[in-house]
Structure formats: C-alpha cells, structure tokens
Structure 1
Amino acid sequence: MSTERNGSAYADVTDADLLTRHTHGDPDAFGELVRRHRDRLWAVALRTLGDREEAADALQDALVSAYRAAGRFEGRAAVTTWLHRIVVNACLDRARRRAARPAVPLPEDLDQRLPAPAQEDPAVRGETREALLAALATLPAEQRAALVLVDMEGYPVDEAARILDVASGTIKSRCARGRAKLLPLVRHLRESGPPGPAGSPGNPAAGQSVPSTDDRPRAGGPTPDPGGASMEGGGTR
C-alpha cells in the first residue's frame, strides 16, 4: 500500500520514529517522511539551483542518500534539519560543478519585461518567479543557499546555520552580502503600489529580505517521488 493512501496510519508518528521504523524494515516509513517534507525540500532545491531539472536530480540524489544513510542518523538535530542539510549539500555540489560553465547573464531589458506583481495571471507569476530564480543564480552558491533558507523559507538564522553546518555569524554575513547584490535586481518585484516610506512594499529598505514566489510543485510537474518504488533501486551520482 502506498504511503499516499496509508499516511493516516502514521498521523501520530514523529519524524524520528519514522526514520527508526525505516531502519527496522518498515517499507512505507521513509516514503511517509518524504511525503511530509517533499514540498519544502523541493522549494529549497529549486530556489538554490534555479533550474527545475537540476533541482529534481539534486533532490532525488539527496533523498537516495538519506534513504541509505538513515541508520547513521544520531538524533543530534531534528530530522527535518538533517534532510535539509543533505538536500542543500547536494545542490551546492551541483552548483560548484557547474560553476566553471559560462554564466547566463540577466536580460538587459529585464525591468521592462517584468510585469507588475499585482497581476494574477499564472503566466505573470511564472515570469516573476523565473526572474527571481535568474537573479538568485548570479550569487555564489553559499550566499544563495543562506538566502533561500532564511529569507525565502523563513528559517531562523541558528537553524539555517545547523542545516549548512556553519556558524550563525557566517549565515548572517552570507545573507547580508547576498542581499546587497540581489536587492537591486529584484527590487521591482516587491513594488506593488506607489512609493512609500523606507521599508514599505513600494520602497524596501536596505537589508530587507528578498521576495519569495510560489514555486511549490504542481500536479503533473517534474517533482521526483523518491518515496516510491524507485528509491531502493536508485543510486547517487
């Protein structure tokens, strides 16, 4: 029985207990763990890499690694922190491998082509999302990962530090540097009304967090399903 159908059987089971059940042979426990957290893990992967195929591959690789490494989980951090660390590391590995490739510059007419965020056309939202991902792609991978976790996913600095396995001060520094580079590129995405005082939607203050977009996977999209039958036969690259 798939975890999509029997998820209610795990309603009162903690993430840590699911991982323990997985290591003890429960065939559905890891799939349920993935089901609980895959949307957020997917969002982190996509925003960190800025490419759907790369993000899907990185997420698949990460979850295969987590599936195989579950027995080594020591419980020093939350299961979600452990999962995010594996996903972010997989993304950073991919980002570093492609760092030698020529960067794709942002279009010179980006400001003119972006529509006003107030419009609700799905195509408009998609274009805005792609513009934000393109801007994120101009940052060094470590700054990008810190901004995704803190500004876009809402993790506290201390939790982001645990996920990335660095000091909290390092996260703050990476975020500050990343915002300084990114905000000039995405300021217009936040402007949903007439200019106002500093820090208002029409005039964001320096150091303000970057905007977020709704890039959760949609039905029929390319999001991998590592909790399914392909997990056991998969392999890392």
Structure 2
Amino acid sequence: MAPPAEESPPVGPAVASPEALDEPTIVSRAQDGDAKAFEWLVSAHQGGVYRLCYRMLNDRSAAEDVVQETFISIWRGLPHLASPQTFVPWLYRSATNKCLDALRSRKRHPSDPMALEDLEDAPPVHGGDVMAGGAAGDPARECEIQAQMRALAVLLRAVPPGPRACWLLREVHEFSYCEIARIAQVSESTVRGRIARAKRFLAEGMASWR
C-alpha cells in the first residue's frame, strides 16, 4: 500500500536494501519523506496489524478498511513521531484505537455467529496459556488443533473489547505489559487485570478441549 499521492512529500533517497538497515533508520527515512521506506514499513507490518484488526472486528472488510485508515494516518503523522524506536507501539496504538472506535459505533450483538467463510479464511489465533500441544506431523492431531483454534476464535469474540485487545497484543503479538500499557494508554496494572480476565474467560470456555 503506497501513501496517498496527493500528500506525498518529495521522495528522498530510496531504500535499496532495507534488510541491511535497522528499522529505526528506515522509520527515520520515512519521516524525511522517503516513500519507498514507508512502503517497506507497510509491507513489514500490515500482516500483523490486519491480524489484530480482524480478531478485534471479526469482519474481513472492516479489518481491511481499518488497516488502510491506520497506515494513512501513520503516514500523515510520521513527521511528528518523536522517536523512531516507538514506531511499532505507535502503529499498534493507532490500529487498536480505530478498532475500538469501530466497535463502539457498531450495533452488532456480540453473540452473532461468525460466518463459516470467515472462520475458514481467518488468520490463526495462538494463545500459549489457553492451548497446548502440537500436531508434529500427526494428521488427526492437526485436525483437532484446527478445530480447537476455530473454537478459540469464536470464543474470543465474546471477550469485551478492552480485555480482548490486551490479550491479543500479549498472546498473539507478544508485546510486553509495559508496551501494551502504552498502546492501550492505561496503567500496567490495568493491562495485567484485563489480560487475566480474558485468560480466565477463555480457559473456562476451552475447558472441554483439555
């Protein structure tokens, strides 16, 4: 996804070999108006942002829209980012806030069933404290794990948005509690409480799979 053409500042030096640069350097180049550097950042992070948005919104089209809106707002705000090292938490904070805004404006009952095609195409959910075990080449076990993941995905929809966001950021995206606190703009103790609440709910719901 390229930044909006009408708002693109003059392009600086291209990032010929981004793998040879650290991410803060690429962020700095994007802040200076290097569109290719920004495209590299989009490519590197859009998959993770989409997974978060999809699991928050349970709607592919809505998730895609939020991802698009997030990167547009990030492009516009890049010149004002104080430190390139804070780019990833800032990106996820923007996406999380947009998801929460979308959920607040939505009038969908939380127990509405997820469409089968959405379940089939959804990115995987992995919760280390909820699910355990591996397929290890066993087709029967692999099928069972897939069924467990689908059950977890459906159950996750019933977790309130705040705890759901914190759980996803911790268990799926592996942010620290401190980073999640900055992303969610709440205290670290609140983050821990929300994650504990989500874990209890999911563990109880998945008890029959143990």
Report the counterpart of residue 21 of structure 1 in structure 2: 29
Question: Structure 2-normalised TM-score?
Answer: 0.71
> How does 1:211-230 map onto structure 2 within 5 Å?
none
- Structure 1: unaligned runs, 5 residues or longer: 108-116, 192-237
Report the counterpart of residue 53 of structure 1 in structure 2: 61
Tell me: CA distance 1:21–1:77, structure 2 relative to 1, closer, same or farther (3 Å): closer
Tell me: CA distance 1:70–1:76, structure 2 relative to 1, closer, same or farther (3 Å): closer
Give the whole-Å Cα distance in 1 for the aligned partners of 2:45 and 2:34. 18
Give the whole-Å Cα distance in 2 for the aligned partners of 1:166 and 1:36. 27
Report the counterpart of residue 103 of structure 1 in structure 2: 110
Give the whole-Å Cα distance in 2 for the aligned partners of 1:56 and 1:123. 28
Give the whole-Å Cα distance in 1 for the aligned partners of 2:96 and 2:103. 10
Computed over aligned residues only, the root mean square deviation of the Cα atoms, in angstroms, reads 2.9
Q: Which moved more, 1:22-31 or 1:60-69?
A: 22-31
Report the counterpart of residue 71 of structure 1 in structure 2: 79
Give the whole-Å Cα distance in 2 for the aligned partners of 1:96 and 1:34. 26
Equivalent residues, number: 177
Query: Conserved in 2, the CA contact under 8 Å of 1:15 and 1:79?
Result: no
Q: CA deviation at 1:36?
A: 1.8
Question: Structure 1-normalised TM-score?
Answer: 0.64
1:31 to 36, 39, 63: 39
Q: CA deviation at 1:105?
A: 4.6
Give the whole-Å Cα distance in 1 for the aligned partners of 2:94 and 2:62. 15
1:10 to 5, 18, 37: 18
Report the counterpart of residue 90 of structure 2 in structure 1: 82
Query: Conserved in 2, the CA contact under 8 Å of 1:143 and 1:174?
Result: yes
> How does 1:60-209 map onto structure 2 within 5 Å?
60-75=68-83, 78-98=86-106, 100-105=107-112, 118=135, 120=139, 127-189=147-209, 191=210
Q: Deviations over 1:93-130 (max 9, x none)?
A: 112221x32233569xxxxxxxxx85648887665444
Structure that is richer in helix per residue: 2
Query: Conserved in 2, the CA contact under 8 Å of 1:59 and 1:90?
Result: no
Give the whole-Å Cα distance in 1 for the aligned partners of 2:139 and 2:176. 30
Tell me: CA distance 1:54–1:67, structure 2 relative to 1, closer, same or farther (3 Å): same
Tell me: CA distance 1:129–1:7, structure 2 relative to 1, closer, same or farther (3 Å): farther
Give the whole-Å Cα distance in 2 for the aligned partners of 1:29 and 1:7. 6
Amino acid at match of 2:93: R
Q: CA deviation at 1:170?
A: 0.5
